[in-house]
Amino acid sequence: MKMRQIIASLCVCACLPLSLAARGKQDIDVPTEGVEYALSAEDVSEPEKKVVLEPKYTLKKPLGRPLPLKESWGYVMAGREDEYKSDIPVTDVCYFGAEIGTYGNLVNVPSRSKLKTGRSRCHLVIACDSRSLTHFILDSSFGLRNQLLKDIVRASAAYDGVQIDFELVPARDRKNFITFLGDLRYMLGEKKWFSVCVPARFKLLSEDIYPYEEISRYCDRVFVMAYDEHWSTSKPGAVANVDWCRRVAEYAKKTIPERKLIMGLPFYGRTWASETTAGAWYFSGANRIMTEHGVENVEYENEIPTFKYTAQVEVTGYFNDIYSVLSIARIYQTLGIQKMGWWRLGMEDPEFWDWVKINR
């Protein structure tokens, strides 16, 4: 009998939710007294609203039609491949890049498979940021040059082209640099694209390390880096202003064949401060700045004197937006230049690409 009662009780319990479910909500009495809840209304806080700062300034909007180009070159930094979008109007991607190591060898060659460029050509950029290293690899008497040339050719196998960006060539290595370019052109073969970066010029300098006309004989493209008119340690000013760019382009057009000339434009900007607060100081200098800024207390931290003060610094900045970049590009357009390049991808206003059209 007890077993039957237990089974009956279980049946009632199992059926109870079904019968309740068939009833309307108004028919169900839900007890509220004596029920403890895990959270009260006071415990539930609204999600923090993200503060979005709105600019108080306005930028000029460009006018006219998109810029028609035959070639559009853009630089991508190794490690920042996500800043490149394959749907932008860029015909040639410069992958920056391989470097010259401590012993004059080629190092840090980026893996071509990390960058998906679609229909765009991809060029391996090789840079050397040391004046002394540049000397050792260019002067064949040190025994490094031939091996480096072979290494570059080997590294270029997965790429459509190679670009040399040696910006610190010593004056006495002028001839060595030119012959290096000639040797590399020969070793790469005619099917591999070969380009060279050169700094901005208004004229041929005395014993010029980067003679535009001579360099252009050995490569398919010459990339004129028409930027850094002002730099981090110069007085404040535009990275590249319109009149300065016009002068550079006029000289480049006279000395570089039209089919080989690429004018480089900057996407970036710079800032300068009226006072530099970081630095190493003489004892007299440290005391002078403390006195000038009214320092009243010097604390000894582990027996070493330390101080703090607040300084008001005026910051001046020059940067590039769509309007400024297009203004320079249209100057080049009026000069008949149809190949341009950008340093570097990821720094630009994404809407800039709405203003570039490739005429293949």
Distance from C-alpha of 349 to C-alpha of 238, rounded to nearest angstrom = 18
The pLDDT score that the predictor gives to residue 49 is 79
Model confidence at 4: pLDDT above 50: no
pLDDT at 30 over 70: no
* 10, pLDDT greater than 70: no
Does position 197 have pLDDT exceeding 50, yes or no? yes
Q: Which of 11-25, 89-103, 116-130, 158-172 has the lowest mean pLDDT?
A: 11-25
Query: In this structure, which topology does domain 67-271+318-358 adopt according to CATH?
Result: TIM Barrel (3.20.20)
Q: DSSP state, 167?
A: -
Which segments within the chain are labelled E, that is strand?
67-69, 71-77, 92-100, 106-107, 121-128, 161-166, 193-199, 221-225, 261-266, 270-273, 299-301, 304-306, 315-318, 339-343, 356-358
pLDDT at res. 50? 84
CB 181, CB 218: distance < 8 Å: yes
Q: What is the 3-state secondary structure (H, E, C) of 309-321?
A: CCCCCCEEEECCC
pLDDT of 208 strictly over 60: yes
Task: Give tens-digit pLDDT for 42-93.
Answer: 555 667 778 889 999 999 999 999 999 999 999 999 999 999 999 999 999 9
Mean pLDDT of 5-29: 39
Q: Using CA of residue 213, residue 217, residue 218, residue 223, what is the dihedral sign?
A: positive
The pLDDT tens digits of the residues spanning 253-279 come to 999 999 999 999 999 999 999 998 899
Q: Are 84 and 345 in contact (CB under 8 A)?
A: yes
**DSSP code for 354:** G
Confirm if 66 and 354 have CB atoms less than 8 A apart.
Answer: yes
pLDDT confidence of residue 87: 96
Residue 93 one-letter amino acid? V
CB 270 within 8 A of CB 230: yes
Grade residue 27 by pLDDT with cuts at 50, 70 and 90: very low
CA distances from 210 to 94, 145, 199, 213 (A): 21, 19, 8, 9
Averaged pLDDT for residues 268-292? 95
Question: b/e map of 20-56 (b: 16 or more CB within 10 Å)?
Answer: eeeeeeeeeeeeeeeeeeeeeeeeeeeeeeeeeeeee
**Backbone torsion region of residue 190, taken as left when φ is above 0, otherwise alpha when ψ lies between -120 and 50, otherwise beta:** alpha
pLDDT above 50 (res 28): no
Q: What percent of the chain has pLDDT over 90?
A: 84
CA distances from 179 to 47, 106, 143, 160, 225 (A): 66, 19, 15, 22, 22
Q: How many CB atoms lie within 10 A of CB 130?
A: 13
Question: What is the pLDDT at residue 276?
Answer: 87
Residue pair 163/196 in contact by the 8 Å Cβ criterion? yes
The single-letter DSSP state of residue 156 is G
DSSP per-residue string spanning 87-121: TSS-SEEEEEEEEE-TTS-EE-PPPGGG---TTSE
Cβ neighbours of residue 335 closer than 8 Å, sequence gap 6 or more: 246, 249, 250, 253
289 has a pLDDT exceeding 70: yes
Which residues are catalytic, by number? 167
Mean pLDDT of all residues belonging to the chain: 90
Find the range with the poorest average confidence among 1-10, 76-85, 172-181. Answer: 1-10
- Helix (H) or strand (E) run with residue 298 in it: none
DSSP letter at 31 equals -
| 3-class DSSP state of 332 | helix
Domain ranges within the chain, ordered by starting residue: 67-271+318-358, 275-306
Res. 33: pLDDT tops 50: no
* pLDDT score for 102: 96
Instruction: Report the phi/psi class of residue 189: left, alpha or beta, with left for phi > 0 and alpha for psi in -120 to 50.
Output: left
